[in-house]
Amino acid sequence: MWRAFRRSEKDECSKARELLSGYMDQRLNPEEVAHVEGHLRTCLGCREELESLRATVALLHRLPEVAPSKSFAVAPVRPLPGRRALTALRFATAGAVLLLVLAFAADRTDLFQQRGPSTLSYGPAVISEEEEAYWLVPGEIRNSVDPSSETPVNLVVPDQTDNVDAAVNSLATGGVVYGNMVSIPDEVPQLVLTEGENGTSTRGEAEQFTVVSGSGDTQNKFATSDAAVPSALDSIIKGQDGLFLNMVPVGSDNVLYSFDLGESQREVKAARENDWLRPLEYGLLGLAMVLGGAAVALWLRQRRARVVEVSKSQN
Amino acid sequence: MDEIEVIRASQDGDLDSFNELVRLYQKMAYNLAFRMLGDSQAAEDATQEAFFSAWKNIRRFRGGSFKAWVMQITANACRDQLRRLKRRPVVPLESLPYDPPAVSAESPEDYALRQEMGEHVQRGLTTLSHEQRMAVILCDIQGLSYEEVAEVMGCSLGTVKSRINRGRAHLRDYFVKMELISPELRHNK
C-alpha cells in the first residue's frame, strides 16, 4: 500500500513538473494553475524544482547580448559580366554536343550508307516472270536488275583470298557465267571482268575470263590467263583495298554470281560511303570542346567576380 | 517613415530602405545565430546569408510580424550552418568572444566572472538538441512570446511549450552539474 502511495505521489510530481515551465511563464489555464499550486503546497521537491528552473531562466536572462563585428547591410549587386554570353555559350555547346551525338549515332548505325549488295553470297539469280534478275543473298534480296536494261549493279569484290578463290572457282566450275562486268563510272578503283577476248559470252569456259581494268569503252587488259585469273584478281584486290565492280546481266537465263563480303571490306565500303560523316564528327567534337571550354572559363570568371562582390559587401 | 512603409519601399526594390530594416534587426538575428552556433564566424555567415535571403524574398512577405519573418529566415540559415558544421565541425569554444559593453560599470573581476558564466551557459546550450536550443534561445534569451516562437520555428504552440520545458530542464541539470546554480538546488536533479 505504501508502495502504491509512493507511485501515485511520483506520478503527481511528474505531472506537475511537466507544467512548471508553463506555470512560470503564466501560460497555464486556471485549472492547471490550481493543480500546480495545490501540488506545490504539499511537495517540497517540486517547489525546489520550480526554484531551480527559475534560477536557470534567470541565468539565461543574464547572458549578455553579443554585438556583431560588422554590418549585415546588403550591397547592390552589379550584373555579372558576360551573363548573356554565358547563356549563349551554354546553348551553343549543348547544340554542338547534340549534333555530335546524332552524327555519331548515324555513323554507328550506318544511317547514310547506301543500300546495295554490301553482303553478298554467290548463287543463282532468280529470273522472275517479268524477267528480272535478283541477287540472292542469304535471307534477303538485296538488289534487282532488269537484264534488258543493262543497268549496272554494284558488286564489291572481297579482299580475302579465300573468298576470291571461291568466287573465281565457282565461275570456273559452275560454267554458267554470263555477261560482262564493266566498271562503274567515276568509281576508283575500277576493275572489269569480261568473258573472253572479245567480250562475248563463253558459257562453260570460265578459263577464258579476262581481268581488265579501265572504264567505259577503253578497257585495259589486266590479266588474261587461265590459271592466272584467281591470282590476278587476288593481287588486284589486295592492292586496291576493296574493289567496286559492275555486273551487267546479259540474257534472260542469267545466273549471276555475287561474292561474300568480309568484315573489313564492309568497313572500307562504309568508310567510303560515309566519308563526309567522319570529318563532320571531328569538326563537331572540336567545336563542342572549344565552346565548352569558353563556357567554363566564363563561368569561372563570373564565380570569381561573385565571390569578390560578396566579400566586398561583407566588409 | 514607419516600418510598414519601409517594408513596402523595400518590396519595391529600394535597397536603402531594406538596409534600414537590416540595421533594425541585425543584432537580434546575429544573437540568435551566435547562441545557436556558438561561433562568431559561423554566426556572421548565417546572419549575412539570412539577410541576403530576406532581400531576395522580400516580395514574399505578406504582412504580419516582420521581426518573426526575419527571425524565421535566420533560424533556417542557422539550420543550414549547423548541417555544414556537422560535415566539418569547427567549434572553438575556448575562443568565444564576449564583447565587453561599451560603457562598463562593472569591475574587471565581475566582468571575468560574467564572461566565464557566459561561456558555461553557451556550453550548456550546445548540449541541447537544435530545436530545444532554438526554442530556449528565442524565449529566454531573446524574450519572444510563445506565439512568436511558434511562428519563427514553424511549429505548433504545444510543440513550443514542450521544447521549452524540456530544454530548460535539461539546461538546469547541466547548470547544477557545473555548479552554476546554488548548491541547495543541486539535490533536486
- Both B186 and B118 in one domain: the answer is yes
Q: Is the pTM of this model over 0.80?
A: no
Is B19 among the domain residues?
A: yes
Contact B19 A60 (CB under 8 A): no
Residues of B in contact with A306 (CB under 8 A): none
Residues of A in contact with B58 (CB under 8 A): none
B118 lies within 8 A of chain A by CB: yes
Q: Output A45 or A271, whichever has higher pLDDT.
A: A45
CB A117 within 8 A of CB A135: yes
Q: For residues A155 and A242, what is the distance between their CA atoms, to the nearest angstrom?
A: 11
Q: Which of residues 119-138 of B touch A (CB under 8 A)?
A: 121, 136
Task: Tell whether B97 is covered by a domain.
Answer: no
Q: Which pLDDT does position A137 carry in this prediction?
A: 25
Q: Do B165 and A76 touch (CB under 8 A)?
A: no
pLDDT for the residue A265: 41
ipTM comes to: 0.83
Q: Does A65 touch chain B (CB under 8 A)?
A: yes
Hey, are the CB atoms on A74 and B31 less than 8 Å from each other? no
Select from B137, B177, B185, B189 the residue whose CB has the most chain A CBs within 10 Å, as the one to mutate to test that interface.
Answer: B185
Same domain, B116 and B72: no
User: Within a domain: residue B37?
Assistant: yes
Dist. CA A281–CA A6, nearest whole Å: 88
Q: Are residues B2 and B84 in the same domain?
A: yes
On whether both B60 and B112 belong to a single domain, the answer is: no
Which one of B60, B88, B116 terminates a domain? B88
**What pLDDT does A147 receive?**
36
Helix axes B157-177, B108-126, angle to 10 degrees: 120
Decide: A175 and A206 in contact? Cβ < 8 Å: yes
Judge: B168–A45 Cβ closer than 8 Å, yes or no. no
Q: Percent of chain A, pLDDT > 90? A: 17
Write down the pLDDT at residue B67: 92
Q: Could B161 and A76 be called an inter-chain contact, meaning their C-beta atoms sit closer than 8 Å?
A: no
Across the interface, of A52, A62, A67, the residue whose CB is closest to B176 is A52
**Would you say residue A68 has pLDDT above 50?**
yes
Weakest-pLDDT range from A137-151, B113-127, B130-144: A137-151
B159: contact with A, CB 8 A cutoff: no
Q: Report which DSSP code applies to B186.
A: G
Residues B187 and B111 reside in one and the same domain? yes
The SS3 assignment for B101 reads coil
CB-nearest partner of A60 from B99, B140, B165: B140
Strand-strand pairing, A192-195 and A153-157: unpaired
Instruction: Tell me if A56 and B175 make a contact (CB, 8 A cut-off).
Output: yes
End-to-end CA distance of chain A: 72
Cβ pair A193, A209 in contact under 8 A: yes
Shared domain for B137 and B184, answered yes or no, is yes
If asked whether residues B1 and B84 sit together in one domain, one would say: yes
Measured between CB atoms, does B41 come within 8 Å of chain A?
no
* Same-domain pairing of B79 and B4: yes
Number of domains in chain B: 2
Q: The domain that contains B21 carries what CATH number?
A: 1.10.1740.10
Q: Rounded mean pLDDT of A16-44? A: 91
Q: Do B22 and B58 meet the contact criterion of CB atoms below 8 Å apart?
A: no
- Residue B36 is assigned to a structural domain of this protein: yes
Residues of A in contact with B149 (CB under 8 A): none
Q: Domain-by-domain residue ranges, chain A?
A: 2-61, 83-109+280-314, 126-273
Rg over CA atoms, chain B: 18
Same domain? B1 vs B82: yes
- DSSP-assigned states of every residue in A127-152: E-TT--EEEEETTEEEEEE-GGGT--
Please answer yes or no on whether A56 and B52 come within 8 Å at the CB atom: no
Q: Which residues of A touch B188 (CB under 8 A)?
A: 45, 48-49, 52
A22 to chain B: which residues are within 8 Å by CB?
Answer: 161, 165
Residue B139 is part of which domain span? 106-189
Q: Which pLDDT band, with edges at 50, 70 and 90, does A113 fall under?
A: low
- Averaged pLDDT for residues B77-83: 92
The residue-averaged pLDDT of B151-157 equals 92
Q: Do residue B14 and residue B84 come from a single domain?
A: yes
Which A residues in the span 70-99 are in contact with B, Cβ-Cβ below 8 Å? 70-74, 76
What confidence score (pLDDT) does residue A275 get?
66
Query: Does residue B12 lie within any of the structural domains?
Result: yes
Do B155 and B181 lie in one domain? The reply is yes
- Does B30 sit within 8 Å of A55, measured CB to CB? no
Q: Give me chain B's average pLDDT, please.
A: 85
Cβ distance A71 to B23 less than 8 Å, yes or no, reads yes
Instruction: Kindly state the cell numbers that stand for A57.
Output: 531562466
Q: What CATH number is associated with residue B141?
A: 1.10.10.10
Please report the pLDDT score of residue B62 as a whole number. 86
Q: Are B164 and A21 in contact (CB under 8 A)?
A: yes
C-alpha cell at B136: 530556449
Question: Does the residue B99 lie in any domain?
Answer: no
Nearest in space to A267 (alpha carbons), one of A132, A149, A110: A110
Does the residue B93 lie in any domain?
A: no
> Which of B30, B121, B164 shows the shortest C-beta gap to A59?
B121
Give the pLDDT of residue B94: 41
